[in-house]
A = this chain, B = another copy of it.
Amino acid sequence: MPASDPRSHARAILEAALAAVDPALALKTALRREGDLLRLGGEVLDLAGFDRIIAVGAGKAGAPMAQALEEVLGERLTAGRVVVKDGHAAPTRVVEMLEASHPVPDRRGVEAGAKLAELLAGADEHTLILCLLSGGGSALMVAPAPGISLNDKQRATSLLLACGADIAEINAVRKHLSTVKGGGLARLASPARVISLIVSDVVGDRLDVIASGPTVGDGSTWAQVGDIFDRYGLWEKLPIPVRERARAGLAGQLPDTPKPGEQWFARVSNLVIASNRQALTAASEKARGLGYRPLILSSTIEGETREVARVHAALAQEVRASGHPLAAPCCLISGGETTVTLGERPGKGGRNQEFALAAALDIAGLEGVLVVSAGSDGTDGPTDAAGAWADGQTVARAASRGLKARDFLARHDAYGFFAPLGDLIITGPTRTNVMDVRLVLLGG
């Protein structure tokens, strides 16, 4: 039976969730070496068959992944280059750490892309490439196609955003302007054996979306790119090199992006080693161990944060009223990544803090319920918090200090609401990112 301190339980459950997606631990769990044998997934690789083993990669989790890979491969690792976000580097023995700007790419990202490509240039069938991918990889490893500048790419993306193109359309164009995105890295590495180890920060773990899918075939085509430019009337507005590349692509003078099933992917494996679902599963196991009946709702929850929070609160209400969807003590668990539509002059906050604030309003007065929402990367919006806690007394406790929950929610100022209450969750950067984890804990 859960004891009287739900917060310490929630903290333990959250820690278990984060531990399960720690990039270094996840890599060492996914990749086990016994002498010359490397076990990964259901596969066994004989390292003796390779002359060179090279690590490449990009993403916010690059440093701990590189460190763990060095630990697993020891002296067998020949070389490596991994791009990480500024300030995210860490000491490595063989792998060269490159830093670049995120989320807006810079010249160092382009240089890093070139350095990675250089490392892949000599790859042959006796080369094993281990590709370490995580969230942010797309902005950190930039490799514009020949003749295209970083500015050209950014200008094209801005135009697409401004005309209301959807994310699938934007990605189709970007993959056609890049040397590494959309399977490009696999093509560069071919005919080497390529194993991508992936920390997923994408809803549904879509391999073609995580870090723009450098080792996954691209389903989009030059014809679609042309249609997109037609549909939004962009041809005349595009930078000249982009326009000329698209025209050449449409005329069949340039190869299309690597397609699923093409030879580039014959020796490529993609392995998700850490995901939101893994975090939720670990949370579920920990909750059970603490005496709560766990229920994983979904790892793919998107949508407007405050509305998603209301649904979670309604489930909490129902547990108390009728024992559905399951009887207390229980722990409802969900993941994914919601959005916040900001109005004019919004306050300070993030989607996890806003989730907790919106839930607080709907569970006000309910006994023995604790709601927690936290970003697995330790950063929620432009704040130093990962998320926040809320319970049935939060709204009243705030009101007694003159803080009106509904007003703070209306102006998206969840940080301003929770900070004076001491109810922010502060973890610092976790160096992983598998989106968000939300818990609704109901005591017995």
- Which of A's residues lie within 8 Å of B, judged by CB? 204, 277, 280, 295-304, 306-308, 310-311, 314-315, 317-318, 321-322, 324-325, 336
- Contact in complex: B321, A277 (CB < 8 Å): yes
Q: Known contacts being A304-B307, A307-B304, is A297 close to B324, with CB within 8 Å?
A: yes
26 sample A-B contacts, Cβ–Cβ < 8 Å, listed by A number:
A277-B321, A280-B324, A295-B324, A295-B325, A296-B322, A296-B324, A297-B315, A297-B318, A297-B325, A298-B314, A298-B325, A299-B318, A299-B321, A299-B322, A300-B318, A300-B321, A301-B310, A302-B310, A303-B306, A303-B311, A303-B314, A307-B307, A308-B311, A311-B311, A314-B336, A325-B325
**A100 CB, nearest partner CB in chain B, Å:** 33
Report the separation of the CA atoms of residues A310 and B203 in the bound assembly, to the nearest whole angstrom.
13
Which residue on B lies nearest to A310, using beta carbons?
B303
**A327 CB, nearest partner CB in chain B, Å:** 12
**A356 CB, nearest partner CB in chain B, Å:** 16
- Contact in complex: B325, A301 (CB < 8 Å): no
**A405 CB, nearest partner CB in chain B, Å:** 13
Report the separation of the CA atoms of residues A315 and B301 in the bound assembly, to the nearest whole angstrom.
8
- Contact in complex: A325, B304 (CB < 8 Å): no
Report the separation of the CA atoms of residues A307 and B307 in the bound assembly, to the nearest whole angstrom.
6
Closest 7 A-B residue pairs measured CB to CB?
A307-B307, A298-B318, A296-B324, A303-B310, A298-B314, A303-B307, A301-B314
**A304 CB, nearest partner CB in chain B, Å:** 5
Determine which of B302, B306, B315, B321 lies in contact with A314 in the assembled complex, contact meaning CB atoms within 8 Å.
Answer: B302
Which residue on B lies nearest to A318, using beta carbons?
B298
**A392 CB, nearest partner CB in chain B, Å:** 15
Q: Known contacts being A304-B304, A317-B204, is A296 close to B325, with CB within 8 Å?
A: yes
Which residue on B lies nearest to A332, using beta carbons?
B325
Q: Which residues of B contact A302 (CB under 8 A)?
A: 310, 314
- Contact in complex: B303, A318 (CB < 8 Å): no
Report the separation of the CA atoms of residues A310 and B310 in the bound assembly, to the nearest whole angstrom.
13
Q: Which residues of B contact A277 (CB under 8 A)?
A: 321-322
Report the separation of the CA atoms of residues A131 and B220 in the bound assembly, to the nearest whole angstrom.
65
Q: Which residues of B contact A297 (CB under 8 A)?
A: 314-315, 318, 324-325
Determine which of B295, B298, B314, B317 lies in contact with A317 in the assembled complex, contact meaning CB atoms within 8 Å.
Answer: B298
Q: Which residues of B contact A296 (CB under 8 A)?
A: 318, 322, 324-325
Which residue on B lies nearest to A316, using beta carbons?
B298
Q: Which residues of B contact A300 (CB under 8 A)?
A: 314, 317-318, 321
Report the separation of the CA atoms of residues A310 and B311 in the bound assembly, to the nearest whole angstrom.
11
Report the separation of the CA atoms of residues A101 and B295 in the bound assembly, to the nearest whole angstrom.
46
Which residue on B lies nearest to A304, using beta carbons?
B307
A298-B318, A300-B318, A303-B310 given. 19 additional CB < 8 A pairs? A204-B317, A280-B324, A295-B325, A296-B318, A297-B315, A298-B315, A299-B318, A299-B321, A299-B322, A300-B314, A300-B317, A301-B310, A301-B311, A302-B310, A303-B306, A307-B307, A311-B311, A314-B336, A325-B325
Of A298, A310, A321, which is in contact with the most chain B CB atoms at under 10 Å from its CB?
A298
Q: Which residues of B contact A304 (CB under 8 A)?
A: 304, 307
**A440 CB, nearest partner CB in chain B, Å:** 11
**A426 CB, nearest partner CB in chain B, Å:** 28
Q: Which residues of B contact A317 (CB under 8 A)?
A: 204, 298, 300
**A33 CB, nearest partner CB in chain B, Å:** 29
Of A299, A311, A322, which is in contact with the most chain B CB atoms at under 10 Å from its CB?
A311
Report the separation of the CA atoms of residues A304 and B310 in the bound assembly, to the nearest whole angstrom.
9
Which residue on B lies nearest to A309, using beta carbons?
B303
Of A314, A321, A336, which is in contact with the most chain B CB atoms at under 10 Å from its CB?
A314
Q: Which residues of B contact A322 (CB under 8 A)?
A: 277, 296, 299
Determine which of B298, B308, B336 lies in contact with A324 in the assembled complex, contact meaning CB atoms within 8 Å.
Answer: B298
Of A308, A310, A322, which is in contact with the most chain B CB atoms at under 10 Å from its CB?
A310
Of A204, A297, A315, A318, which is in contact with the most chain B CB atoms at under 10 Å from its CB?
A318
Report the separation of the CA atoms of residues A298 and B332 in the bound assembly, to the nearest whole angstrom.
13
**A274 CB, nearest partner CB in chain B, Å:** 15
